[in-house]
Amino acid sequence: MEQASGENADAGAALLERLLGSPRMPSLPAVAAEVLDLVEEEEVDLARVAETITKDPALATRVLRTVNSSFYGQAYAVGTVNHALVVLGLRAVKTLTLGFSLVGVFNEGSQSSEAFDVPGYWRRSLLSAVAAKQLAEAARLESTEECFLGGLLRDVGVLCLQQSLGAEYEEVLAEGAPPAGPWGEPLARAEAGALGADHATLAADLCKRWRLPVLLTALIRHHHRPQEAPEDHRLACACVHAGGLASSVFMAADAEGTDGDATAAGTALARFREAVDGLADQAGFPMDAEAIIDGVHNRTAEMRRLFDLPATEAIDGADLLRRARAAQEAVALASARQADLLERESQQLREDAEVDALTGLPNRRRFDRELAGYCSHSDGSFALVMLDIDHFKSVNDTHGHDAGDAILSAVASITEAAVASEPASEGGPIVCRLGGEEFALLVPGVDLLAAARLADRVRRAVEAAVTPLPAGGDLGVTLSAGVCAGRSGAMPRELYKLADRALYAAKDGGRNTIRAFREAA
């Protein structure tokens, strides 16, 4: 496995060098590169950022046109890049600058062929970008602008390969995807087999070479398989992935009446709805898939003009939804097997919503439900234990997020093993990951002293363990714990407060220790 992985990496690096050596492969615009350098400085000078963007009058004009468009809905006109930085913030203006610069260089000189439809490519990309931004807004992410740019550039590797390799790559395209996409898993497999790397990996490696933001690189690398993204980027990657599914609803409707399948839009809408349901569970906020589809049309048309991309005939969002619903009903009536499959997939999404993707433990949602049940119906005593890895931020800062994920997984496994010897009671003990570096135990049938002993068993097991790190070497960590006991009639919120106070007392007491509070009524 390691040898195969190394061979794939070598093949991907060789392919990247080949593309970079092509005279048709663009380079990162100087203004974009300079802006990236400026925003990485410890104290960002907004005046210098504005001055740099203004060096390119066409770029500055596009940024201001976009800031003043209905896409951002400003109540008053923004007249300078300096003002835009104040109103929208550095993050949004930086992302717009990157977007205009990168779309400009990638679109310049691009040509359609039988195997690749350039206007269709940009239409799908814009639809994906607008939908990804709306989904990120619904998920209340801070990275809405990055999700827009990630949706816009998610398949830029396809464009790079088509423009640089020409007929050689078009043979791969013909095998793996229609001319206007989607460029999904079948194409990725065909690319890996023929070229040694797929378009998502290639584009992400190009982003790294150009020192583009880490989040943008992750969005491009993982847009097909967001579940494989680092945990702190996973939800944003899922938004970009779902944005691609939204674009398929529009593109399938575009194809109807030509050589398209009349049921394709309905199938695409069903897949998008499922993805949105999963996103809503993952984010913890309600989302309306059809409202997002309905809002994509007008915003996409405006962004196409702002980015000066090829015009294509667009279907009204409300009309598209009516047609997609009708097609979906036809699919349901025609195929009971397909309907059963969709139901099983939906059920799996609901089940997955209560499992932490990194550790496989129950998540906060599941734990809250179990704790509420004990508080309402327990006939005996039970205890709540909160566990927190000491100095975890320094693990991520020093060793990287991959190392942090390895530590979290290891602590989860150690904790499960440590509580496995606890006498089994109905429904417990339950180990969960609350979020970040915080875990919790729900232990039925024990008093405060027994729960504190169990917590200390976990603490000692974690202290004694050493975890191998992905980049080599190993690392040990400690944890602190807060314990409280409860009984039927206790309020979950009050138990959390008591356990949290105990945990903070353990932290204040020097960490790598246990503190407990008496039973809550």
Catalytic residue set? 437
**Rounded Cα gap, residues 351 and 344, in angstroms:** 10
* Structure-token pair, residue 450: 């027994």
Among candidate residues 343, 339, 361, the one with its CA nearest the CA of residue 352: 361
**Rounded Cα gap, residues 89 and 43, in angstroms:** 15
Q: How far is CA 360 from CA 237, 387, 413, 457, in A?
A: 19, 17, 9, 21
Among candidate residues 59, 157, 149, the one with its CA nearest the CA of residue 101: 59
Q: How far is CA 311 from CA 120, 124, 250, 306, in A?
A: 10, 12, 15, 12
* Structure-token pair, residue 62: 């596009």
Cβ(146)–Cβ(215) below 8 Å: yes
Q: 370 — phi, psi (to 5°)?
A: -65, -45
**Rounded Cα gap, residues 54 and 59, in angstroms:** 7
Within 388-447, where are the H helices?
A: 392-399, 401-419
**Rounded Cα gap, residues 255 and 236, in angstroms:** 29
* Structure-token pair, residue 268: 């695409």
